[in-house]
Structure 1
Amino acid sequence: MAQFGFENDIHSILKLDMPITNAPMARWQRKASSSNASALNGLSPGKSANVSLSTTKTPNKTPGKHKKQTPSKMGCDRFIPTRNSKQMDVASFLLTKENETVDTNEQNATSENQKAMSMSLNGYNIEEAKILHLGGKPLNAPEGYQNNLKVLYSQGATPASVKKTRHISSTPDRILDAPEFRNDFYLNLLDWSSSNVLAVALHNCVYLLDASQGEITLLMKLEREEDYICSLSWTKEGSYLAIGTSDCQTQLWDVYNQKHLRSMASHTSRVASLSWNDHVLSSGSRSGHIHHHDVRVANHHIATLTGHSQEVCGLQWSPDGRYLASGGNDNMVYVWPRVQDGPANQAVYCWSEHQGAVKALAWCPWQPNILASGGGTSDRHIRIWNVNSGSCISSLDTQSQVSSLVFAPNYKELVSAHGYAHNNVVIWKYPSLTRVAELNGHEERVLSLILSPDFSTVATVAGDETIRMWKSFELDPIKKKAKERLAKSNSGVIHQSIR
């Protein structure tokens, strides 16, 4: 019994997949039956000829709108003729031509509307002012057209923002003959005064060149022919000149009156270096000693500095007068304090990093605590020192003997003179020490260089017996006027404070 019950259940389930006999007629069946009935009625002779076409009503998706009546495919009295392929091609061509005419008219109308709108909004037809064009040559902008976006997005620099490049001439401004110039690395035979007078020593004579007027005068000449000038140094005011000689003398001359004021004897060998600090004149000799002379008093020798074991060929006081830097043939660099600031014979710093004679010394005018030194043939390095900390800030191998150094404040640069093997002058950017320019022209080693009082020109003297002047640091006229106005205002403040 259980088996029969299970089979009945299976049959009842399978009946769900069988057609439903009692269900209403499907829509397609109703439409087919109605179409057949209409066709039969139209063909039967008993019916009237005014039988209307049967329609099937399709309910509209949107309520409230009129229902569309779709004519039935069956029972239609429309006559469709049979056409061949040629007729079909002709008909297709005529329909396409008609559509093209309509599209062309519509496009012309749209183009006219766009042109009118562009004229009213922009004042010109934008289609005629396009920059990008698909074919042919680019169209020119209409006459009088100005692009307002050019000011905002132009990549070209305006004249106000153009950075003027500085021109450094590779040829000297002036060349002077210096016959009988002594080709000695350890001597200092060139100096430029604050009154724009250049002093140069030629063997046993000292000549003065007025750089503003070009006049050359002979200041002095040593009595003995075998003696020679070893060093020159102007006072800060530029009215007095100190001269060191090979006969151990230090002479003081009044330049304006061309008068020999005094000779100060204290050294036992030639005086190769000189430097002024107000009324104190410091002199270095081949013996390695440095003497301080107070030129105001009869007993001029006030102190002796002993540190170098060989000739003192470099000597420079700092701009603020606090320190004296000395370099010697013993490859040493010393920094000495003023007499009133400490023991007279005790150095503040002693640096031995150089491997050659140190003649080139220069203090930075805008940073009084910075000292630059240069080594000779065995060293070839420029070193930058900080006298506050006593450390070497930077070092540069120049690949050539360094004979002289000077800072150029107009452009914050350092200038170096070189002997073997390049015999040139190099301008370095400070403090990066990147090469700015090279000044070539001397045929032998450059022994000394000095900066003009307006910091625009550097003068160099070499073993080829020529003096060359290079205008490498001239300021722009605008900057020059601003600097002059600042100097006048500062001088006015000083005079008012003195009064």
Structure 2
Amino acid sequence: MITHLHTLSGHQNPIYALANAAEENAFYSAGNDKGVVEWSLTSMGFVKVLAPVQSSVYALHRHSNFLFIAQRSGVILVFDLLLEKTIAMLNHHQKGVFDIKTIGHKNELLSTGEDGTVAVWSLKDLSLLYHFQVIQNTVRVIAISNDEKEVALGCKDGMIRIYNSEDYGLITELEAHTLPITSLQYDPTSTYLISGSRDAQLKVWHLPDYSPGPAIPAHMFGIYSIAFHPSAPFFATCSQDKSIKLWDSKNFKLYKILSLEKNTPGHFHSINKLIWSNDGRYLISTGDDRQVMVWEFNP
């Protein structure tokens, strides 16, 4: 079902962020190095250092021809992929930016992080439109509902806070986890929201009312990324426990564990991020061991 295909090396420090390129055969990675790297899935190799950075990169997000690069310094770089240069620096956050997402129909970019605020930026002119305080400490992760009407925020206090994307009014607060929330995703069928935490639990929240569903003791340590396959009914999770797990997205059956401890290829340190390639052929993982691993998926 899923097999190790290639390991890409070159980063000198832990890697925290991955993003797909517009093309099906390329993706980007970044972390505690001095640049964002472009990789090819055709040659399974390094392409180039795309953009230099001044501090660690915690998140990457591509929208159209822009790659947004969120840094530990609080600055978000806007890199134009056509011009191949940084065209703007977004300055609002006083501390590290942990996540960035876009709301397409509103032409807005959302950013959040260690200062507990959400900033709303215009994708038309990159101006700051609005900002609001969520909590006094870290908001780790943003998830946008598939209809883009609701924004879910995973917070350090273990709460999920749901906001209306039209006016950013608070809809509800979910007492979700006993430790900080580190991953959050809406499933592609708009059936549920799923959250992962430093408490090693996955929790399911049924839509549209966010009523609690199954609680799954998924990993041994914090769950840092949840990634739904773009077309098949599966999702993957990764953890500080150095494992990747593949799940059925309908009944939450565990299909596969990828881990050195299970005698499969795997990472030898905390796994920080997972993405699927645009076409769903590959799962890409990375983490503190400075390796980028490519896995081939055959459902």
Write out per-residue CA displacement over residues 205-234 of structure 1, whole angstroms, 9 at most, x where no aligned residue: 11111112213122421375xx33232112
1:395 aligns with 2:264: no
Mapped to 2, the partners of 1:175 and 1:318 lie a distance apart of 31
Stretches of structure 2 lacking an aligned partner (at least 5 in a row): 1-40, 260-265
1:323 aligns with 2:192: yes
Describe the shift of the 1:177–1:301 C-alpha distance in structure 2 as closer, same or farther (beyond 3 A): same
User: What residue number does 1:347 align with?
Assistant: 212
- Residue number among 46, 49, 57 corresponding to 1:174 in the alignment: 49
Mapped to 2, the partners of 1:216 and 1:275 lie a distance apart of 26
**Bigger proportion of residues as helix:** 1
- Deviation, structure 1 residue 358: 0.6
Asked if the contact 2:77/2:90 (under 8 Å) is kept, the reply is yes
User: What residue number does 2:7 align with?
Assistant: none
Asked if the contact 1:266/1:301 (under 8 Å) is kept, the reply is no
Asked if the contact 1:359/1:374 (under 8 Å) is kept, the reply is yes
User: What residue number does 1:294 align with?
Assistant: 164
- Aligned residue for 1:173, secondary structure, equals strand
Mapped to 1, the partners of 2:286 and 2:79 lie a distance apart of 21
Asked if the contact 1:375/1:382 (under 8 Å) is kept, the reply is yes
1:104-119 matches, within 5 Å, as: none
Write out per-residue CA displacement over residues 94-114 of structure 1, whole angstroms, 9 at most, x where no aligned residue: xxxxxxxxxxxxxxxxxxxxx
- Deviation, structure 1 residue 269: 2.1
The two structures, once aligned, show a CA RMSD in angstroms of: 2.2
- Deviation, structure 1 residue 172: 2.6
User: What residue number does 1:313 align with?
Assistant: 182
**Bigger proportion of residues as strand:** 2
Mapped to 1, the partners of 2:286 and 2:93 lie a distance apart of 32
Mapped to 1, the partners of 2:106 and 2:82 lie a distance apart of 14
- Aligned residue for 1:347, secondary structure, equals strand
Mapped to 2, the partners of 1:283 and 1:297 lie a distance apart of 15
Describe the shift of the 1:365–1:291 C-alpha distance in structure 2 as closer, same or farther (beyond 3 A): same
1:334 aligns with 2:199: no
Stretches of structure 1 lacking an aligned partner (at least 5 in a row): 1-165, 183-187, 433-499
- Deviation, structure 1 residue 251: 1.3
1:59-70 matches, within 5 Å, as: none
Greater Cα radius of gyration, structure 1 or 2? 1
1:407 aligns with 2:271: no
1:7-406 matches, within 5 Å, as: 167-181=42-56, 188-193=58-63, 195-202=64-71, 203-222=73-92, 224=94, 227-236=95-104, 239-277=107-145, 278-297=148-167, 300-338=169-207, 340=208, 342=209, 344=210, 346-367=211-232, 369-376=233-240, 379-397=241-259, 398-400=266-268, 401-406=270-275
Describe the shift of the 1:372–1:303 C-alpha distance in structure 2 as closer, same or farther (beyond 3 A): same
- Aligned residue for 2:152, secondary structure, equals strand
1:401-440 matches, within 5 Å, as: 401-410=270-279, 412-420=281-289, 423-431=290-298
Asked if the contact 1:272/1:284 (under 8 Å) is kept, the reply is yes
- Deviation, structure 1 residue 261: 1.8
Letter in 2 for 1:279: K
Aligned residues: 249
Asked if the contact 1:189/1:232 (under 8 Å) is kept, the reply is yes
TM-score (norm 2): 0.76
Describe the shift of the 1:353–1:410 C-alpha distance in structure 2 as closer, same or farther (beyond 3 A): closer
- Deviation, structure 1 residue 410: 2.7
Describe the shift of the 1:388–1:288 C-alpha distance in structure 2 as closer, same or farther (beyond 3 A): same
Mapped to 2, the partners of 1:238 and 1:200 lie a distance apart of 20
Per chain length, whose mean CA-contact separation is higher, i.e. which structure has more relative contact order (CA < 8 Å, sep 6+)? 2
